[in-house]
């Protein structure tokens, strides 16, 4: 099983590198790997610097998952911290599977990648370091307590794209 995941990861990486090499909209793109599931208290962070800009960009959360993901939706708490201390928190819900249980997303193997909208046409009013934090908030139907360890999510990414080709 581990060999299959390794081979699929290598294929996905090669495909991603090929696509990135001709990606003219890319401003920022980074992934964090989740080794043994995503614990409910684990926060994934991305740090990036921006100049003041009135030119709008789109921001995405990228999720790579496999057949071990048992839910049709994914709930995330996303916090964006601005350089001067302002914080914006969003609770987001994304559909991750079709009604038949098959995973949504792109991919040639059992690993699928979903490019999920986070913010559209965002400008950066402050120069400096920004921090984006993502935490999973999945719950089973009818239960108040969150899922302790979310299986099937292999990587979380954050991407910023320009609205026009460079």
CA distances from 24 to 28, 101, 166 (A): 11, 34, 5
Token representation of residue 156: 């979380």
Q: Whole-structure pTM over 0.75, yes or no? A: yes
> 95-151, pLDDT tens digit by residue?
998 888 888 889 878 888 999 999 999 999 999 999 999 999 998 776 667 788 999
For residues 127 and 117, give the distance between their C-alpha atoms in angstroms, rounded to a whole number.
Answer: 24
Q: Which of 166, 160, 164 is nearest to 80 (CA)?
A: 160
CB 81 within 8 A of CB 133: yes
The pLDDT of residue 5 is above 90:
no
pLDDT digits (tens, 9 = 90+) for 20-76: 455 788 999 999 999 889 999 999 999 999 999 999 999 999 999 999 999 999 999
């Amino acid at each position: 099983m581990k060999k299959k995941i390794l081979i699929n990861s290598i294929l996905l990486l090669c495909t991603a590198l090929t696509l990135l090499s001709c990606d003219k909209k890319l401003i920022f793109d980074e992934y964090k790997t989740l080794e043994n599931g995503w614990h409910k208290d684990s926060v994934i962070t991305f740090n990036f610097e921006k100049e003041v800009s009135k030119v709008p960009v789109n921001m995405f959360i990228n999720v790579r998952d496999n057949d071990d993901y048992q839910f049709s939706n994914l709930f995330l708490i996303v916090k964006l911290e601005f350089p001067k201390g302002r914080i914006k928190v969003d609770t987001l819900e994304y559909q991750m599977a079709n009604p038949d249980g098959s995973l949504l997303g792109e991919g040639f193997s059992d690993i699928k990648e979903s490019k999920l909208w986070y913010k559209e046409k965002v400008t950066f009013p402050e120069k400096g370091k920004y921090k984006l934090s993502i935490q999973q908030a999945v719950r089973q139907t009818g239960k108040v307590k969150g899922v302790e360890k979310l299986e099937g999510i292999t990587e979380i990414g954050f991407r910023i794209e320009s609205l026009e080709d460079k």
